[in-house]
Amino acid sequence: MMADNQDNIGYVLLRHREIPDIDSMEVYQKNGGFEAFRKVLTQMKPQEVIDEVKASGLRGRGGAGFPTGVKWSFMDSKNWPHYVVVNADESEPGTFKDREIMERNPFQFLEGVAICAYAAGATEAYIYLRGEFWPVAEKLDRQIDALETAGLLGKRIFGSETNLRIITHLGAGAYICGEETAMLESMEGKLGQPRIRPPFPPSYGLFGKPTIVNNVETLTNVPMIIARGAAWYRTIGTEKSPGTKIFSLSGCVNKPGNYELPLGTTFRELIFECGGGVHKGRQIKAIMAAGASSSLIVADETALDTKMDYESVPALGAQLGSASVIVIDDTVGIDWLIHKTVHFFRHESCGKCTPCREGTFWMDHLTGRITSGKAGWEDVELLQDVANQIQGKCLCALGDFATEAVLSGIQRFRTDFELKAGDFTRQGEVRKTE
């Protein structure tokens, strides 16, 4: 048992940590696997499934936190066929939870996909995996074949009228394809570039048809919600953020890894109790709660005692996102850190929107100059200016994401920038005190 306080609630998602070999179909079935799917197919109407998921309060685990049942209820019932596309493109720096689910508890994930497809009235569900997950996709293909052979997928499942195929599709190395409309474009064999929204995927999705796009972790919750009920699910987590969440903990900690904890657990519990504290005996300086897309949180006592849920983290001027918690110790310069994140976003910008394409390019240059000590304070101001020119001006969130660490970093860790650029003008002259 991991030291992550699972005694009270047990695992909802990372159940392989308490049930050995749950990645075999037999073991999964012995532990109640596919009973939820049987129940929805034989006893529930699609609308009842949607209502149950709505009642559970489950929110999307990919980053946006949108209520899952509500998303499902938006599907346009006048336009058919319907599709489900699973977002398994997990690419946010600091996020590595979906890989563990798919590798270790794959049948619960696949059952969640199947239940979602039934609720959506879809007979085809695609799993879009990032290309790097090639071996995961190969294993899922074999598991899907086994389910078809066992009559749990395919035609007339459980003797009902329901047919379902689950199909894997590999991307090829593009962070942007984690954005749902870019993912749909990519699935259609085009460049992974976001679409203008609205229309949203439940009315205009894959091949122009109504489509539910959900994250791997989101759907892996669903069999447990159906099996144990929405009321049970709501006993975990907080009122507005029910359930458990997998927190991917990385960076300067002693025990990085995935920790499944109730939403509302504090940063302190995750970083110090689960993660064993900051590595090399150092002090904690900053926290990024949502991977590279995060605003930087000053890791003071208030922050450490803040609950990690969809309401409390925004009170710190940050987001929970996909809950990829990166710990930054006191030896790390924030000027270096934002150069890292900006460099990532420059590489991953799809090039469609000018503010993001050009802005990330210039921010990469400016942060590089600053961190190498070749910049003056004007460059820091110019960097802020460029970041502000990106915010809110792009089709998808990538542009905004690229600016979060930059703007919060300069604002909240000003000393780091003053040390690098504060005393000099760009020409290297000593700055006059004002």
Partner 1 sequence: MSENGKIREKYPLEIEKILSKYPPDQKRSAVMPLLYLAQRDGMYVTKAGMNEVAEILDLTSTEVASIVGFYSLYYDKPAGKYRIQVCTDLSCALRGAEEFLEKLCENLGIRVGETTQDGLITVEQVMCLAGCDHAPIFQVQSGEGLEYYENQSVESGMALIEKLRHEEAQKDGR
Rounded Cα–Cα distance for residues 65 and 59 (Å): 5
Torsion sign (Cα): 169, 172, 178, 183: negative
Output 41 or 253, the one with its CB closest to partner 1: 253
Q: Give the residues lining the site for partner 1 (CB under 8 A).
A: 90-96, 98-99, 130-135, 138, 167, 169-175, 186-192, 207, 248-252, 256-258, 288, 292, 324, 326, 328-329, 332, 337, 340-341, 344, 347-348, 350
Q: Which of 413, 290, 382, 392 is nearest to 341 (CA)?
A: 290
- Min CB(174)–partner 1 separation in Å: 5
CB closer to partner 1 out of 258 and 403: 258
Report the distance separating Cα 319 and Cα 403, nearest Å.
Answer: 13
Q: Which is nearer to partner 1, 66 or 207 (CB)?
A: 207
Shortest distance, position 27 Cβ to partner 1, whole Å? 24
Q: What's the closest the beta carbon of residue 138 comes to partner 1, in angstroms?
A: 8
CB count, 10 Å around CB of 101? 26
Max CA distance (Å), the chain: 82
Residue 137 CB, shortest distance to partner 1, in Å, is 9
**Tokens 């759907």, residue located:** 219
- Give the nearer residue to partner 1 in terms of CB position, either 91 or 214: 91
Residue 375 vs 405, nearer CB to partner 1 = 405
Supply the DSSP string of 76-128, one letter for each residue.
-TTS--EEEEEEE---STT--HHHHHHHHSHHHHHHHHHHHHHHHTEEEEEEE
Smallest gap from Cβ 25 to partner 1, in A, equals: 22
Nearer to partner 1, 15 or 130 (CB): 130
**The length of the chain, given as a count of residues:** 434
Contact 425, 378 (CB under 8 A): yes
Q: How far is the CB of 426 from partner 1 (least distance, A)?
A: 27
The distance of closest approach from Cβ of residue 359 to partner 1 in the complex, given in angstroms and rounded to an integer, is: 18
In the bound state with partner 1, the residue whose beta carbon lies nearer, of 51 and 103, is: 103
What is the three-class DSSP state of 350? coil
Buried b (16+ CB within 10 A) or exposed e, 23-60: bebeebeeeebbebbebbbeebebeebbbbbbbbbbbb
177/410 with CB nearer partner 1: 177
What does the alpha-carbon distance between residue 338 and residue 348 come to, in Å, rounded to a whole number? 15
- Report in angstroms how near the CB of residue 394 gets to partner 1 at its nearest: 18
